[in-house]
Amino acid sequence: MRKLIDLFSQETDSIEEIDEEKNYDHVVIEIIDDVVKKKKELHYRYNQIFERLWVSAKSIPEKKLIAKKLLNRLLRESDQLFIKAQILATKMCPICKKTKEEQKIFKFSDSLH
């Protein structure tokens, strides 16, 4: 019975906001965990490629050139994972959603998550 009374009270908005923020915290933790796992897998794959490169029959200058290109690609892909996670966190932020509803001009907030 107490829950029915709470549903119609004024305090439910603040309780729902607290729950929403706690849920958002869990979502952010999941996003961070996912990014770490994906980056770890990505670096592991590139590590295997580098190991194959070192034992290949190519000359040292060729190995150096290929290694530079691979490292550049690895950094770019790693940064892209982080950027996608940051955009996702911004989209799911309850504070940013409220701001978005109020302003309706900006698609995303300027704050980093």
As a whole number, mean pLDDT of residues 11-19 equals 51
The DSSP 8-state label assigned to residue 38 in this structure reads: H
Q: What is the pLDDT of residues 17-37, one digit of tens each?
A: 556 667 888 889 999 999 999
The residue that leads in pLDDT, 15 or 69, is: 69
Please give the radius of gyration of the chain, using alpha carbons only, rounded to the nearest integer.
23
CA distances from 101 to 6, 7, 19, 71, 93 (A): 26, 24, 20, 42, 12
**Sequence-ordered list of residues with C-beta below 8 angstroms from that of 95, at least 6 positions apart, any chain:** 109
Q: Which two tokens stand for residue 31?
A: 């996003």
7 pLDDT exceeds 80? Answer: no
11 pLDDT exceeds 50? Answer: no
